[in-house]
Chains A and B, each alone.
Chain A
């Protein structure tokens, strides 16, 4: 099988792992080597599904000893199997890198023979890249659940990011859809990577002994099983808190196997995925807790409103907020005020008392924010009558040009904010600011 055929099979096989980041590592190039890592990450292209391409994302092999119900590469799936050699992966990575197609490599794999055997091959590939080819670009390596911890630790010395995918949001779902994987095989490595990173930091080791500088991440499949958004967001919160993960990725379930244990979905729940990313941003950057966003009574995120608006409507007693006095944490909770706008408000108001026009110039999304703030005591919003009323605010938030909807009524990824300033939706999509 030639390299082209292998690449065709093994890139297609890897595309359901949605992790795309090349950020978080300041790896400098060594003299005589090639490449470095850009701390903020660089997007090199966008494929026809609208997703960004930053790394060469491939499986080492799509042969797999396991048979997870949702996976295109499961043992019982009828498809062509292929495997790279470590040298082929290194060659591809370097040649793509020199042409500036990629920031580096994202390497995962099916389980070939057993977890240790596979992990060894992956580790060898990375060592060839780093030591023989002197490549210092970004490397994201997947951990095979069940692999020996020494192999994982060894790999960690050469890569920028390690990740092990949880995929299913509960133990029950895991045993239903992946009977061959055990929970300990996933959380064990996560815990040890976390400890390894913490140890390195405590030692203040010289740069030559970097260990997973870009941290670890994981992925959850959304919509393959019955867990609520609440369960998923709580899980994410625990992962950030307990294992110090850099990112949790949410992948809308895509039907590829037709396994009977899976729900019959015509198209991936992209709207739900988008809302979860917004909730995730609120956890990480806006100081929200999972319990504030979702509850037993409301276990799923509102499809029509972003989670920040939704929370604001449930907590109207906290509004309106006076922008010239409220502290930073409170400003962050105002719909339409992103992290950057909140910082700018705090900086600017030291010199000048802000009015609504000022807020607009600062970059606040006034369509939402004006419903929840006062400027110098003034409240301007077309909601009529005195006091903030949930029904009126909800109507004001929802009005405007209808969002695009797919045939199933599932809001599409793109125009969630049919908003005012051109580029506002774009910026929100890139920065996650809401």
Chain B
């Protein structure tokens, strides 16, 4: 019977990397790296619960960067942000191949281990890019521009630098309602804080005015002879409509 080991981490990025590090150093055999919460206990399995070790994690990341490539490190980070159950396991297999082959690992497009991590990583970068377009800010009392969202993956941190650069002169917040965290920008720099409830602050009159104008524009800009709701949904899936000004009343 083939041995199969389970490495459980606490869900943080440092924990995730510590688990990858231990799995990489551990005995040969099939390995699964999971977040503690995702592990379904089994009488016959004794998982290894990994104690998060920030220093060890940093050292491992340095090794990945040096022995494989900076891009591999990026892929692993995005895989983590995907929050997919199998992210740790796929990252481990990819890194094992990477340590074997070196910086050329990402040229091995035909290899399932490379492909799997690439696809996971792409889900995250695609959603981040999509939200750069779909995020909607509304000005609430007090002058803050507030944008709620419910992304599939943990992308708020990826959005922060983009909006800090282009909306540099006002305070704003991006609120990930699903994860209870928010990126806060104070006019100079951004940070992430926990934020449980969606803001119930009222919109200003001016805000209501501009929202109305945007809805009007959105309606009038469509060419009726080219009506194509399927295409609209394909590029802009329904699950994002909840926080789109133009798709709500």
**Chain A residues close to B by CB (< 8 Å):** 3-4, 7-8, 11-12, 14-16, 29, 32-36, 38, 42-54, 56-57, 92, 95-96, 98-101, 137, 252, 254-255, 267-268, 270, 344-345, 347-348, 350-352, 354, 357-359, 361-363, 412-414, 426, 429-430
Contacts and interface: CB of A to CB of B under 8 A. Distances in A.
Interface stretch (B37-45, B65-73, B81-89, B103-111): B103-111
Contact of B167 (A14, A15, A98, A429): A98
Contact of B223 (A7, A16, A95, A350): A16
A44 B134 contact: yes
Interface residues of B, number: 55
B136 A101 contact: yes
A50 B166 contact: no
Interface string B161-188: 0110111111000000000000000000
Contact of B245 (A50, A101, A270): A101
Contact of A47 (B101, B211, B218): B218
Contacts of A96: 210, 213-214
Given A45-B236, A426-B234, A100 B136 contact: yes
A92 B210 CA distance: 8
A348 B118 CA distance: 14
B210 A11 contact: no
B107 A348 contact: yes
Among A42, A96, A413, chain B packs the most CB atoms within 10 A around the CB of A42
Contacts of A137: 166
Interface string B217-249: 110111111111111101110000000111000
19 contacts: A15-B223, A29-B166, A35-B166, A35-B167, A47-B221, A49-B224, A51-B226, A100-B137, A100-B163, A137-B166, A254-B226, A268-B226, A347-B107, A348-B110, A361-B109, A361-B110, A413-B228, A414-B231, A414-B234
Among A50, A252, A412, chain B packs the most CB atoms within 10 A around the CB of A50
B245 A254 contact: no
A33 B136 contact: no
Interface of B: 101, 104, 107-112, 115, 129, 132-139, 145, 147, 162-163, 165-170, 210-214, 216-218, 220-232, 234-236, 244-246
B232 A48 contact: yes
Nearest to A340: B109
A426 B126 CA distance: 13
Contact of A44 (B108, B133, B167, B224): B133
B213 A7 contact: yes
Contacts, number: 169
A51 B214 contact: no
B165 to A, nearest CB: 6
B231 A34 contact: no
Contact of B230 (A50, A344, A363): A50
Nearest to A357: B110
A299 B89 CA distance: 54
Contact of B226 (A35, A270, A348): A270
A47 B221 CA distance: 7
Contact of A48 (B112, B129, B211, B227): B227
Contact of B135 (A100, A345, A430): A100
Contacts of A46: 231-232, 235-236
Contact of A268 (B108, B163, B225): B225
Contacts of A99: 136-139, 145, 210-211, 214, 245
Among A46, A51, A137, chain B packs the most CB atoms within 10 A around the CB of A46
Contacts of B129: 42
Nearest to B247: A45
Contacts of A267: 225
B25 to A, nearest CB: 26
B40 to A, nearest CB: 28
A146 B138 CA distance: 42
Given A45-B133, A99-B214, A12 B228 contact: no
A48 B229 contact: yes
Given A15-B222, A16-B223, A361-B109, A47 B169 contact: no
A311 B13 CA distance: 50
A359 B115 CA distance: 12
Contacts of B213: 3-4, 7, 92, 96
A213 to B, nearest CB: 17
A36 B223 CA distance: 29
A43 B165 contact: no
B107 A350 contact: yes
Contacts of B222: 15, 47-49, 51
Contacts of A36: 165-166
Nearest to A103: B133
Nearest to B233: A46
Contacts of A33: 168-169
Contacts of B223: 15-16, 49, 51, 254
Contacts of B104: 351
Contacts of B227: 48-50
Among all A-B residue pairs, the 6 with the closest Cβ atoms: A50-B231, A50-B228, A358-B110, A47-B222, A49-B226, A344-B109
Nearest to B130: A43
